[in-house]
A and B are shown apart, each in its own frame.
Chain A
Amino acid sequence: MAKDSDFLVQMNDIYIEGRSDETWMPIINGVDLTLRRGEVLGLIGESGAGKSTLGLAAMGFCRDGVRISGGEVYFDGIDLLAAGASAKRNLLGKRIAYVAQSAAASFNPAHRLIDQHTEAPIRHGVMSRAESEKDGMELYQRLRLPNPDEIGFRYPHQVSGGQLQRAMTAMAMSCRPDLIIFDEPTTALDVTTQIEVLASIRDIVAQFNTAAIYITHDLAVVAQMADRIKVLLKGDEVEEADTRTMLTDPKEDYTKSLWAVRAFQRPQKPAVLSGATPVISVKNVTAAYGPVPVLNDVSFDIHEGRTVAVVGESGSGKSTAARCITGLLPPKQGSIEFEGQALPSDYRRRNRMQLRQAQMIYQMADTALNPRKTIGEIIGRPVQFYMGLTGAAKRKRVEELLDEIELPAHQYIDRLPSELSGGQKQRIGIARALAAEPKFIICDEVTSALDQLVAEGILRLLARLQDDLKLSYMFITHDLATVRSIADEVVVMKDGRVVEQGPKSEMFQPPHHAYTDLLLSSVPEMDPDWLTKLLAERGIENIGDAAVTKMS
């Protein structure tokens, strides 16, 4: 095989297998990948497509229980699959670096940032400790971390998630590697934080002419970052092209379907009749966890058959508002009314009918379903508990509910949650809520853990159920694309207060409250020039956390 010196990374016909249930299952089936110096390649695909596995294989590394069963990996002419442990040790950390999805989980909480930063340069003999610390502070400055001279001496828990992700990028840069692999570095972040991290990653990669593999499932993000995009589906390459061609003129049907996801949008509903009694009415609620105030005089109404989206970044009090409605956190002041009547503030003092009316669908379907119960038991329990159905009648109702969520009953009723995919689990969560035959459902970030195609399916299902059953939704989310597709009304929250609320059509039209405007402008668009334009328009000081700090 010719080793073209133009290419920094060259992976030929890679096959990767994973050990599962005593056999080797294919994960990657013969994918080629090449990367020139200074080039950024975006890898996209849904979960399970093998993006991360392929990214790690570019370092010659496999996770436990995974093996590279065929193909070749060359890094700058070095055959990584044949190289010994010591040869690889010289490359990893020094010439190849890795930025993980969760910086909070990847930093060692017992050491200061700067000590972790300097470890690789000292180990590899690139720099002395003093040099590396100085260089670290310079990198922190370039990544626009606040107080760059001082922040490195903090422990990981003392800085915010976005700052930690940037510190991790700085750490990856510490030896000035030729290649960095970014594995979903912004997936766990808020939109306003994400934009800042994106801008700084893009800058620093360009400044040092570093090649990068950027793994993500968010198309709009990859459009900003990558020069070329490779689309993976179940371990096969679907297509590869440079970013602009890919966005404007995708060849394959699968790619087109990915691009089309963001097109789903429900028609605007007519305005609510004035004087109609809302299903749920939150009235001047103030709540606190112990002495820490979380909600401050929050009021909003949710009408029959309507979806109210509550948006805001983490810590803004969206989920706490839901906890107040369900009664898990009794408010200090104010009340929750259901169809005009005040509900007891503590869920333990509500009766079954009151509990039945407000159901919840959770973000993480994994923890929301008892892993030791079959689907039939999970959905059957509320049927039996509230409706008093048993035996054949109960089973019939469960089958109806499974039909409702578009899963064939005979196939799924006896399965365990672990035997379902993420989207299917979320559907079971919906069915469990429907089993109580409620009027009102709280959807807490129900799509944020899902791939876009799957998430769209869930949104369409929720929309159809709303139309059929006249349900009201409180839709907690930080994803404005979701808001745009499903909401009727929007409530924007910040620091436990409602900063703005109104019908969706008004919310997406200027003029906005400054914070709403920031939220809206931070949502990445499918235009490769979006980030550049935004930075030119607003300036680096007026996006992300920096802007939020200015505001308060």
Chain B
Amino acid sequence: MSRSLVVPAIALLFTVIVLVDFVMGIGVLWYLYAVLQILMVPFELMTTATAPMVAVLGGWKWIVYLALLCVGGYGFRAVGQRLTKNRPFYRDMPFSVALGYVFAATLIVVVLLNYSRSFSTLGGMPDSYFFFRSALHFLVLSSVAAVLFRQFGCMVGTASTRKLFRQMPATASFGILIIICYAIAAIFAPMIAPHGQETIFPRANIIPLVPEAMGGDPAFPLGTDQIGRDILSRLIYGAQNTVGIAFVTTVLAFFLGVTGGFLAAVLRGWVDQVLSRLVDVLMAIPALIFSLLLITAASSLFSGTGLTWAMIVIIAVIDSTRVFRLSRAVGMNIVVMDYIEASRLRGEGVGYMIFREILPNATAPLLAEFGLRFCFVFLTIAALSFLGLGIQPPLADWGTMVKDLGQFVNYAAFLPQYAMLPLLPAGAIALLTVAVNFVVDWMLQRSSGLKE
């Protein structure tokens, strides 16, 4: 489980840091502090139970908490062994694992306790549990949706797709579900979105998710931005622009990278040298800085849609260097196989060898890389838009939206619904990144036969 969570977790953290940090100007430390706070919660819970002890021990209470946790873990394992008459699961359980179970159980209790508390907020007071509750609702809903979607997949479709769904972990089915939702939003945006992305309404700054009495408007469920554009519609159109452009860019990067990498692997010699050194030179310059530089240069030549196309080509070329490296390495492993030697001895041409012999055997690692690369391209475009160089207004784009709505975060203390606004596009980016990673991770595992 750990591997499948690490990558999306890092991607999520990266996104949040890049996009929200700029806005809040607080820095990475704040997030580390927040993470620490969450980890401390179970101990804080114990504070009430152990208040007299804390009074005596003062600053040494942490040691007591840790000791309690250890005793809990030991007791859990011992009771488990006693009750199940030494079932192998409890019998061979290492102490660290028992500790983990107890810690997780404590955490769940704390979360449930906080959730029950979140409904007792007094009316009129700012809802300090708003983000916690929303996150929990989203987590539960998406888990249920993922499981239901997998059940659905097990029942319809051909025998092979049904089998695919049966063997699929819930994370992967969640990822697929999210990707399908994004694809539908991107393709049918004009039909789904209630308003146009560029339409400006007279009422700006409508508060989202609140009744009319408090300044909301049912016609604009997520409110409007500073100049009166509907945020829900812009989010949906943002899928079309951001995701669509990222997809085109990734496909282009793969076409360039894979062709070059396989050519280098098959022909070796000077072709390999020239291509590899060229890629080395391109990789030597930090990617984001390099693309900023090139796009700035391109902006003097193109404008509007032309600039967007220039951006696509620039990012594709820069990202194709990474694809080149991978496909060259994968290609090298395949080229040494006897069936490639057989086709060489048959007198086959380079094109046949690349596309008919090598490519079908490289699909698994390349698809996995495609997923990851897509995320990176997507984040790069969002970051560029955030900096004002990517997708140009009035087209809706999530990166630009984060930038434009950023100041609302300051309302977090007294109107969390308002503060949520910049988090919606940021969350849309994070969610897709996580979803793609879940799917890629699953595909990698399937193709490599890795076991958890």
Residues of A within 8 A of B (CB): 22, 64-65, 84-86, 326-328, 347, 350, 352, 355, 358-360, 362, 364, 367-373, 381-382, 385-386, 432, 436
Contact = CB atoms under 8 A, between A and B. Distances in A.
B337 to A, nearest CB: 5
Given A84-B86, A85-B88, A362-B338, 14 more contacts: A22-B163, A22-B166, A64-B451, A327-B345, A328-B341, A355-B346, A360-B341, A367-B339, A368-B337, A368-B338, A368-B339, A372-B360, A381-B343, A382-B346
B280 interface: no
B341 A22 contact: no
Given A85-B91, A373-B360, A436 B339 contact: no
Nearest to A65: B451
- The residue in B86, B92, B163 that gathers the most chain A C-beta atoms within 10 A of its C-beta is B92
A415 B134 CA distance: 52
Contacts of B166: 22
Nearest to B358: A370
B interface, how many residues as a size bin? 20 to 34
A360 B337 contact: no
A385 B348 contact: yes
Interface string B145-175: 0000000000000000001001100000000
A84 B91 contact: yes
A370 B357 contact: yes
A372 B92 contact: no
B82 interface: no
Contacts of B92: 84-86
B361 interface: yes
A126 B451 CA distance: 35
B123 interface: no
A507 to B, nearest CB: 29
B413 to A, nearest CB: 53
A367 B347 contact: no
B339 A326 contact: no
27 contacts: A22-B163, A22-B166, A22-B167, A65-B451, A84-B86, A84-B92, A85-B92, A86-B92, A327-B345, A347-B345, A350-B347, A355-B346, A355-B347, A359-B345, A360-B341, A362-B342, A367-B337, A367-B338, A368-B342, A370-B361, A372-B360, A381-B343, A381-B346, A385-B347, A385-B348, A386-B346, A436-B346
Nearest to B166: A22
Contact of B347 (A22, A85, A352): A352
Contacts of B343: 381
Contacts of A22: 163, 166-167
A124 to B, nearest CB: 19
B342 A347 contact: no
Contacts of A372: 360-361
B344 interface: yes
Given A85-B91, A85-B92, A367-B337, A347 B344 contact: yes
Question: Quick one: which of A352, A368, A386 has the most chain B CB within 10 A?
Answer: A368
A352 B348 CA distance: 10
Interface string B326-351: 00000000000111011111111000
A433 to B, nearest CB: 9
Residue of B86, B338, B341, B348 with most partner-chain A CB within 10 A = B338
A445 to B, nearest CB: 12
Given A22-B166, A355-B347, A382-B346, A370 B341 contact: no
A370 B360 contact: yes
Contact of A328 (B339, B345, B361): B345
Nearest to B339: A370
Contact of A326 (B337, B345, B348): B345
Given A328-B341, A370-B339, A385 B361 contact: no
Nearest to A355: B347
A432 B342 contact: yes
Kindly list the 8 A-B residue pairs having the minimum CB-CB distance in the complex, ordered from nearest.
A372-B360, A85-B92, A368-B338, A362-B338, A370-B339, A367-B338, A355-B347, A367-B337
B345 A355 contact: yes
Given A22-B166, A84-B86, A84-B91, A369 B347 contact: no
A359 B345 CA distance: 8
A385 B343 CA distance: 10
A22 B92 CA distance: 26
A367 B333 CA distance: 11
A121 B199 CA distance: 79
Contacts of A352: 347
B342 A360 contact: yes
B345 A360 contact: yes
A367 B344 CA distance: 15
B268 to A, nearest CB: 13
Nearest to B94: A85
B338 A371 contact: no
A413 B361 CA distance: 20
A476 B4 CA distance: 47
Contacts of B338: 362, 364, 367-368
Contacts of A370: 339, 357, 360-361
Nearest to A433: B342
A326 B346 CA distance: 10
B164 to A, nearest CB: 11
A372 B451 CA distance: 23
A84 B91 CA distance: 7
B279 to A, nearest CB: 26
A274 to B, nearest CB: 32
Contacts of B339: 367-370
Contacts of B342: 360, 362, 368, 432
A326 to B, nearest CB: 6
